[in-house]
Every structure is written in structure tokens, then in C-alpha cells.
Amino acid sequence: DAGVIQSPRHEVTEMGQEVTLRCKPISGHDYLFWYRQTMMRGLELLIYFNNNVPIDDSGMPEDRFSAKMPNASFSTLKIQPSEPRDSAVYFCASSFIRATEAFFGQGTRLTVV
Amino acid sequence: GQQLNQSPQSMFIQEGEDVSMNCTSSSIFNTWLWYKQDPGEGPVLLIALYKAGELTSNGRLTAQFGITRKDSFLNISASIPSDVGIYFCAGAPQGAQKLVFGQGTRLTINP
């Protein structure tokens, strides 16, 4: 298996623009997580899905952030409008049965200028 | 919310030395995991622990789930240059199906 696949690897955008990050989880995994990593706050869980259904979105910072999982093999994290403080590395992770043993993608480094 | 205290924040050692790092929590955790992150990559799972007192090895790595269920440690024996990176502990709080991460331990090895 190719592992969790994220795209793009790098994204540079101007403040106010819409940003969409994409994730393909490991085939057969039924949990999908979106994390954000910054130097100041470390790794933060934004939202996670079980069988394509959002279970906990308490980590989503504000209404500008939204996530969808239309099917078992694809998820998106959208930021609209983007702000400089959204600059971070965003990781997608997936797991099978146990929500805790998560396997991470390579991340998307987002820079908002 | 739950927080994990991971220490030390950084370590500078000589190649061949053993390494020890730990994580503590103020609340009970059902699962402890240890990850390693290389620059520009996502965290990679090293060891998963599911029972209090459990001691698990993965090559030169050994990790234990503390008896109180509020702590865990990771040891690396005979360090080599490829061990360089950031090590994260992560835990699943009791009753929760999600992970909380420590702040990481940055390991630097002098050849």
C-alpha cells in the first residue's frame, strides 16, 4: 500500500484566498484524522471521521475551516478565507478499527502571505 | 483538555549512547504510542502500548506503559545517526477515540 497520500505537498497562497487540502487514506482504514502542526502549538487534532462521518470537530479553530469525507478514499480540508496565522503543516492520518493507532501522510506545508 | 508533558525537550548525545525519554499525564490514558518525525515528513509510528505495565520492544527501541496509566517511557539503545529526529509520545485518554500528542523530544547525535 502507498500509505496516506496528501496533496499538495506545498501551498503558498495570498490572504483571503480559498485553500483546499486533499487526503487519500490507506485502503480499508475506517478512521481519518486531520492534524495541524506548528512550532508554538505542536500537533493539534482538528477533526476526525469514522466511516466517513465526522465524529469530533472540536479542534477546528473557527468557521473558516471545514472538512468533508464524501467517500472512504477521499477527504478534504478547506480554509476560506485563509489568513497568515493559518500557516502550518497540515497532516492527514488514518487508522483501522483502533482510532488511536494512526498512520500519517507526509503533510501539506501551507504558507499564507 | 488533556495534556502530555514530554521530557526532555531536546537531547544532544554521542553516537553509541543510550537514550531515554518519557511522557506523563495528569489523567489516565488507555493507549500510549511513540512516533518519530524526520524533517519534512509525517510522524511514523514506532511502538504502540495498550496495557498498563506492558513492555514492548522494536529493535533497539523499548517502550513501557506505566502501571498508573499516566506515564510512558521510550528507550533507544546504542544510538546511531539515523536515530536523529523528533520523537513524540501520544496517548488516548480514557473514554476518547483520539490521540493527544506531547510536545516532542528533539534528538541530536554527534558522530
Residues of B in contact with A106 (CB under 8 A): 40-42
Q: Name the residue among B89, B98, B34 with its Cα closest to residue A50.
A: B98
Q: Measure the CA–CA gap between A89 and B40, rounded to whole angstroms.
A: 9
Any chain A CB within 8 A of the CB of B39? no
- Please list, in sequence order, all residues whose beta carbon lies within 8 angstroms of the beta carbon of residue B106, skipping any fewer than 6 positions away: B9, B10, B11, B85, B86
pLDDT one-digit tens code per residue, B57-86: 999 999 999 999 999 999 999 999 999 999
**How much is the pLDDT for B98?**
79
Q: What is the pLDDT of residue A99?
A: 63
Write the single-letter amino acid at B57. Answer: S
Cβ-Cβ contacts under 8 Å, B48 against chain A: 100-101
Q: Tell me what pLDDT residue B2 has.
A: 57
Retrieve residue B20's grid coordinates.
531515554
Answer whether B92 sits within 8 Å of A100, measured CB to CB.
Answer: yes
C-alpha span between A111 and A11 (Å, rounded): 6
Residues β-bridged to residue A23: A6, A75
B96: CB partners within 8 A, 6+ apart:
none
How many residue contacts between A and B have a Cβ separation below 8 Å?
Answer: 52
- Chain B contact set for A31 (CB, 8 A): 97
C-alpha cell recorded at residue B49: 502500548
pLDDT tens for B28-60 read: 998 999 999 999 999 999 999 999 999 999 999
Residue of B nearest to A10 (CA): B40
Check whether B1 has a pLDDT greater than 70: no
Number of helices and strands (H, E) in chain B? Answer: 0, 11
Beta bridge partners of A65: A79
d(CA B16, CA B49): 26
What is the rounded CA–CA span in Å between residue B90 and residue B106?
Answer: 15
CA distance A95 to B85: 23
Query: Is there a contact between A104 and B43 if contact means CB atoms under 8 Å apart?
Result: yes
Contact A4 B103 (CB under 8 A): no
Q: Given the C-alpha cell 488511536, which residue does it identify?
A: A100
A32-59 pLDDT, tens per residue? 999 999 988 899 999 999 999 999 999 9
Over residues A99-110, mean pLDDT: 89
Question: Measured between beta carbons, which residues in chain A are less than 8 angstroms from residue B88?
Answer: 43
Residue B93: pLDDT band (50, 70, 90) is confident
Contact (CB<8Å) A105/B42: yes
3-class DSSP state for residue B58?
Answer: strand
